[in-house]
Amino acid sequence: MTVDLLLGLQWGDEGKGKIVDVLTSKYDIIARFQGGPNAGHTLEFDGIKHVLRTIPSGIFHKNAINIIGNGVVMDPVVFQSEIQGLEKFSINIKDKLLISRKAHLILPTHRLLDAASEAAKGKAKIGSTLKGIGPTYMDKTGRNGLRVGDIELSDFREKYRALADKHIEMIDFYKVDIQYDLAELETEFFAAIEELKQLTFIDSEDYLNQALKDGKSILAEGAQGSLLDIDFGTYPFVTSSTTTAAGACTGLGIAPNKVKEVFGIFKAYTTRVGSGPFPTELNDEIGTRMAKLGNEFGSVTGRARRCGWLDLVALKYAVQINGVTELYMMKGDVLSGFENLKVCTAYNYKGEKIDHLPFNIEEENVIPIYEELKGWNADLTGMQSYEQFPEELKAYISFIEKEVGVPIKIVSVGPDRKQTITIQ
């Protein structure tokens, strides 16, 4: 068997959680391959909203095994609260969730370091979620980090103390006023570690490759979006991990030739949380209307998302670097009622028309070039098939497919898993 990938193609918040939930019944294993509790995957069914941060979105399906891969960074305290939030659903976590021993741990001092670093930047802040993600990945690449497998070793507390003390020295270096009670944070951390020990740790690369040999189907679930990738995103306003298709291989231990389909998710418009360039951003009543209709607030941070027209230059770029084979368009219903819709098809970059993402897409360098399409007034939320779509929406879909060169196979017309239209 092979592995299929599910990726966000914008700046995150595309709706990956819902689509994973819809697709899960087709797969034996759902594996998360990067990111940490800075990502919030929102699922909604039967009128109830659920937000997952670290646990894969297949946890609500009784037959799926869920794996947290080696590319993920875990905060035991956040993870414990996530598990507690699932208890009311009578989900047997111990049987359904497996954790890679090679996944790195977020320490309390990682979060403090994150806060100190961001505070020290002043106006140059990059918009960190302050969850300790960046400092944890820094320790990973610096070969200083602690991993889930270290919990099983007798000298875990000694290793923890050495790393935490190093962090405190670094926090003092920033010379910013960060208030914290380390003893209280550590008590909470080690209590969560004891809870974590009750779950099953695995050598996930061996487990997954054996599963492939046994004919199991696997869906690799990404977090954030391709434009936040550490290498290919709008650096330095990016996350600290590989959010593109390559991250599934390094974050799970699967070979590139095992990957079959790459499902790319995007919104019918564009959003971004926090700082960073955003060529099609709308700082007007249209952008405000999009945010209100789309309920554009971060599921983890609660921060308002910036909104703008669909950027096909950026979307084509994301499709290219990921090798996307199918597109899934989310929040098509949000655009209902707009008389006209604009789509960015090129940039005016320093006086030259280009159709690719340049090295620097800061506002003063890039002016979006738009094509205008007719909008639609129909309420999409109750529609059951593509045939019911208004002609203007069909034209919008066709325009995107032609520009990007990849078919749109799913259109979401509401937050519930039932509000998902498959295009044959």
Q: Mean pLDDT, the chain, as a whole number?
A: 92
How far is residue 335 CA from its own chain's centroid? 23
Query: 368: helix, coil or strand?
Result: strand
Q: Which of 61, 104, 131, 140 is catalytic?
A: 140
The annotation status of 42 as a binding-site residue, yes or no, is: yes
Q: Is 32 annotated as a binding residue?
A: no
Domain 267-422 -> CATH class: alpha beta
Pick the CATH number of 104-196 from 3.40.50.1100, 1.10.300.10, 2.60.40.420, 3.40.50.620: 1.10.300.10
Predicted pLDDT at 123: 62
Q: Does domain 2-102+201-263 have CATH number 3.10.20.30?
A: no
Q: Is 294 annotated as a binding residue?
A: no
Choosing from 4, 41, 96, 267, which is the catalytic residue? 41
What crossing angle do the helices spanning 312-322 and 391-404 adopt, rounded to 10°?
A: 50
Is 301 known as a binding-site position? yes
Amino acid 128: pLDDT: 63
pLDDT band at 164 (very low <50, low <70, confident <90, very high): very high
User: Tens digit of pLDDT for each residue in 68-127?
Assistant: 999 999 999 999 999 988 877 788 888 899 999 999 999 999 999 988 888 777 665 555
Does 224 show up as a binding residue in the annotation? yes
Q: Is 104 a catalytic residue?
A: no
Is 342 catalytic? The answer is no
What would the mean pLDDT of 397-424 be, rounded to a whole number?
95
- pLDDT tier, 352 (very low <50, low <70, confident <90, very high otherwise): very high
Q: Does the annotation list 127 as a binding residue?
A: no
Q: How is 293-316 classified by DSSP, letter by letter?
A: HTT-B-TTT-PBPEEE-EEHHHHH
Domain boundaries, given as residue ranges, for the chain: 2-102+201-263, 104-196, 267-422
- Span 233-274, pLDDT tens digits: 999 999 999 999 999 999 999 999 999 999 999 999 999 988
- Matching fold, domains 2-102+201-263 and 267-422: no
Catalytic residue among 4, 13, 21, 229: 13
**What pLDDT is stored for residue 182 in this prediction?**
92
| pTM exceeds 0.85, yes or no | yes
140 belongs to the catalytic site = yes
For 250-266, give the DSSP string: HHHT--GGGEEEEEEEE
Distance CA 29, CA 65 (A): 5
Does the annotation place 300 within a ligand binding site? yes
Q: CA–CA distance from 385 to each of 138, 331, 412, 422 (Å)? A: 47, 15, 11, 7
Q: Residues 161-185: what's their mean pLDDT?
A: 90
